[in-house]
Amino acid sequence: MNELLTATNLTKRFKPEEHPVVDKVCFGVKEQEIFAILGPSGCGKTTTLRIIAGFERTDDGSIQLNSKTLECPYTHIPPEKRGIGFVFQDYALFPHLSVLENVKFGIRNAGGSEREFRALKMLDLIGMKSLRSRKPHELSGGQQQRVALARALAPKPSLLLMDEPFSNLDAVLRNSTRNEVRKILKDAKMSAILVTHDQEEALSVADRIGVMNNGKIVQIGTPEDVYYRPKTRFVAQFLGKTNFFAAQATGLEARSEIGYLMLDKPARGDVMISIRPEHLTLERATPANCSGTCGIISSKEFKGHDITYHIKLPTGECIVHTDNRMPFGIGENVVVRPLEPAVVLKQDS
């Protein structure tokens, strides 16, 4: 797929003497791609999105959409001329307008019957044509979210921006709404940028994720890439539970507190490695398999389909997710075995 949006070296300081809140941010969004910007609170996600929307100026760098420069220190195309749609966190629906009227409001460049036709088509796409006469307060949070999405999509933008669009929904509704939103965007062949601090949301909705920390994009990749092949300790930790071990590497193998492990890439000397809890398994310790690297089960969380064990090791702790056919008891001696190679991490910059 061709690149639709290119952000190059975007930089923003709100106070000249302070560290930039957006620091040389570079990424591209392909046609029909959902790209998530994922990072902790205050890392600069919203500011990046607002620069792309045209609500903030960039101090440096540029944004191209369809090869046209929208933003650089000398150019600023106003938000309404960018061909970009925006879904806000609080949906921002007009309370006195019906669902249909809210969606029609987004379509400016068409006559009455064409507007109605396009609005109804959008409502059909989001499965809400039958609720077209309702007012926003007569809808659930998830339905309001879909109407906000339909309104943003109705003018046929080239790109849709979504800032924490699911954060007002409860956990169950959030899950189903994000699956629906992904399907709607894919059916509409839309490109979108989703800003979120929720790693599960980014992993399940996005095609690619840019992980952001301290104003910088620190890694870009598919959900599988950033989850299973994190480059730094920050990315490994932010994307979910993991185990870190100091290890001594000798090529594709390393020695660590849980014994010898394979590595995902060759390394030499002292390294920090990460291995996900589901990439470890347990064996009951016996004199034959335990050569000084045994652990003791310190706690256990039974979750029905799987079990999470916390293992006390001689100098630390590790977490292991196993299936429910491995019922070890608290206090039992176990040996921790890797099922997959461990990931060698670079130092966080």
Among 40-48, 117-125, 168-176, 300-308, which window interacts with ligand ATP (CB under 6 A)? 40-48
Decide if residue 53 touches ligand ATP (CB under 6 A). Answer: no
Determine which residue in the list 7, 43, 188, 313 makes contact with ligand ATP, applying CB under 6 A: 43
**Angle, alpha carbons 75-160-11 (nearest 5°):** 40
Among 36-44, 78-86, 235-243, 246-254, which window interacts with ligand ATP (CB under 6 A)? 36-44
Residue 198 CB, nearest approach to ligand ATP (Å)? 10
Cα–Cα distances in Å, from 2 out to 31, 132, 221, 277? 6, 36, 17, 37
3-state DSSP assignment of residue 278: helix
The tokens for 50 are 């607002």
Determine which residue in the list 14, 55, 260, 302 makes contact with ligand ATP, applying CB under 6 A: 14
Q: Which is nearer to ligand ATP, 45 or 174 (CB)?
A: 45
342 strand-pairing partners = 263
> Which residue in this structure is represented by tokens 């003497």?
17
Among 35-43, 66-74, 235-243, 289-297, which window interacts with ligand ATP (CB under 6 A)? 35-43
Q: Where does residue 19 rank: exposed (0-12), middle (13-18), buried (19+ CB within 10 A)? A: exposed
The tokens for 14 are 């709100």
Question: Pairing state of beta strands 306-312 and 317-323?
Answer: antiparallel
Decide if residue 197 touches ligand ATP (CB under 6 A). Answer: yes
Q: Which is nearer to ligand ATP, 40 or 327 (CB)?
A: 40
**CB neighbours (10 Å) of residue 273?**
24
Residue 296 CB, nearest approach to ligand ATP (Å)? 39
Chain positions contacting ligand ATP, by CB under 6 A: 14, 21, 39, 41-47, 197
